[in-house]
Structure 1
Amino acid sequence: MVQDPVASLGFGARRRTSWTAPFTALAGMIATVVALAIGAVLAVFTAIAVAVFALCAGVVVFFAGFALRARRQAVGRNRRADDPAEDVIEARKVGDTWVTYGWERTGR
């Protein structure tokens, strides 16, 4: 008689009925529930970490916007001087060197 080598594969070939079978099934269910609970807790912690990271990034972008706005306004104020000649620095040649005037004004 020829035995089929595939017949011994599968779940039915391994299943043996004994007095420990209900306890094994119960232990498997408990392990499954514990694994699901741990996975759910880790998913919640991951979601909280992503939310905190996004909040910090938002705060950084918010303050970067304030810094850029303040820089733009400061540059605009200096360029809108009433007298354009105030931005010119005077230089004279004294001997072999150039001497500049106007650096000592405030705001430079």
Structure 2
Amino acid sequence: MTQSDRLIFGPSARRPSSGLLAPVMWLGGVIATLLAMAVGAVLAVFTAVAVAVIALFAAVLVFFAGLAMGARRKAVIRTRRADDVIEARKVDGAWVAYGWERPGR
């Protein structure tokens, strides 16, 4: 530790490593480290599970979108029959359509 470090951090910056409290502090540091590693591992597992669930939902969404696109391509397009033609005439500035009534009404 340099002289400037001693001025910044004060006399409590470096504690002596010998004494009765040193092994207890070392054991506390080890326990805190292990606890932090365990919490990090649990959070990593939760994150991995969340990513897997999101990927599963995305795969299901893509699957159903593929089914919808396939059904859309296979849909039968009905062609208009010749007798379904609508006739329209302009009467007094307005268009009037004839032939749009459905037969059998």
TM-score (norm 2): 0.71
Q: Deviations over 1:22-59 (max 9, x none)?
A: 00000000000010011001101100100000000110
- 1:53 maps to amino acid: I
How many percent identity over aligned positions? 44
- Tell me: CA distance 1:95–1:30, structure 2 relative to 1, closer, same or farther (3 Å): closer
Q: Report the equivalent of 2:97.
A: 98
Measure, in 2, the Cα distance between the counterparts of 1:62 and 1:72: 15
Q: Which runs of 4+ in 1 moved over 3 A?
A: 6-10, 92-96
Task: Tell me what 2:81 maps to.
Answer: 86
Letter in 2 for 1:25: W
Task: Indicate whether 1:14 and 2:14 are aligned.
Answer: yes
Between the two structures, name the one with larger relative contact order (CA 8 Å, sep ≥ 6).
2
Structure-1 residue corresponding to 2:24: 23
Shift of 1:71: 1.1
Name the residue aligned to 2:3: 5
Q: CA deviation at 1:86?
A: 1.7
Name the structure 1 match of 2:67: 66
Q: Counterpart of 2:57?
A: 56
Q: Secondary structure at the match of 1:78?
A: coil
Report deviation, 1:7: 7.0
Quick one: which amino acid aligns to residue 91 of structure 1?
I
Q: Distance in 2 between matches of 1:78 and 1:7?
A: 83
Structure 1 unmatched ranges of 5 or more: none
